[in-house]
Amino acid sequence: MPELPEVETVVRHLRPRLVGQTIQKFAATWPKVTAPAPVKTVAGQLADRQIVEVARRGKFILLELDRGLVHIHLRMTGRLLLAPTDVALGPHDRARFSLSGDDDLVFRDMRKFGRIGYLPDRSALEAQLGPEPLDEAFTGDLLAALLKGHKRQIKPLLLDQSFIAGLGNIYVDEALFAARIHPRALSHRVSRAKAHALHSAIREILTGSIAAQGTTFINFAWGADKTGGYRMALKVFGRQGQPCPVCGTALVKQWIGQRGTHFCPRCQRKR
């Protein structure tokens, strides 16, 4: 599933190609792609609107319009592709933005969990999302205070988008390993020093992954799927059974909060 670095990579790719274009028409072949709003309603809201900026908030891709904004969540398998205007949609293509330029924007989504919607402004999004981990306002002190304010296992807490926006399974496992925090540790018991280590780890890992264009898939062009370059840098995610790069102990995978969680039982002690 795409997380902050993958979504940021998509946004950086689309921004110069979409800003200034007008959405001439929005159409969907999968009626629930705009749920809970009907496709017809969203199509009416997007028709003839100009794209003035492409942005990211958490894991949402935002097309800011001359009035209102489109929010797109890729979820499990969603992808945004620029496609020649005359290209026929494939079986997994759920929606199409017909644009004023040479290409259309196509939403491809095999599993159909992805969603596209319209909002008059950002307030409803802001109400459900925590701070952006790469913003200047997200400091080590802020993270320490937020952790103290919750009594939850840290792994599911970090995945909660209303706590911090943008983190998913891969980067939470990597950040907890880098900060030597057990994924089941209770948030309010995490020391101030470890909270600061976690803050640094989150920022370094996300920044490194953005520079490598993410870990999982990304799309640059019609028919051209690519995988991000950060997979080589992963230290624990997907490496269960292999030696810990720090101490050599075999890495383990356990289900925590219904998510496969990778960690080193020696480096990440629970206490």
Exactly one of 49, 59, 79, 194 is catalytic; name it. Answer: 59
Length of the chain: 271
Instruction: Please state the closest distance from residue 197 (CB atom) to Zn ion, in A.
Output: 15
Binding site for Zn ion (CB under 5 A): 244, 246-247, 249, 264, 266-267
32 given a catalytic annotation:
no
Nearer to Zn ion by Cβ, of 76 and 247: the residue is 247
Nearer to Zn ion by Cβ, of 172 and 251: the residue is 251
CB 253 within 8 A of CB 260: yes
Instruction: Please state the closest distance from residue 26 (CB atom) to Zn ion, in A.
Output: 50
List the structure tokens of 169. 């399974």
Instruction: Please state the closest distance from residue 248 (CB atom) to Zn ion, in A.
Output: 7
120 given a catalytic annotation:
no
Residue with smallest beta-carbon separation from Zn ion: 244
Exactly one of 245, 259, 265, 266 is catalytic; name it. Answer: 259
59 given a catalytic annotation:
yes
Euclidean distance between CA atoms 175 and 155, whole angstroms: 10
Exactly one of 2, 5, 156, 183 is catalytic; name it. Answer: 2
Instruction: Please state the closest distance from residue 264 (CB atom) to Zn ion, in A.
Output: 3
Nearer to Zn ion by Cβ, of 125 and 252: the residue is 252
Instruction: Please state the closest distance from residue 114 (CB atom) to Zn ion, in A.
Output: 36
Nearer to Zn ion by Cβ, of 170 and 244: the residue is 244
3 given a catalytic annotation:
yes
Token pair 């902050």 in the structure block, residue: 4
List of residues 6+ apart from 271 with CB closer than 8 A = 182, 185, 189
Decide the pairing of beta strands 103-109 and 69-73: unpaired
Nearer to Zn ion by Cβ, of 13 and 262: the residue is 262
Nearer to Zn ion by Cβ, of 129 and 236: the residue is 236
Instruction: Please state the closest distance from residue 249 (CB atom) to Zn ion, in A.
Output: 5
Residues acting as catalytic residues? 2-3, 59, 259
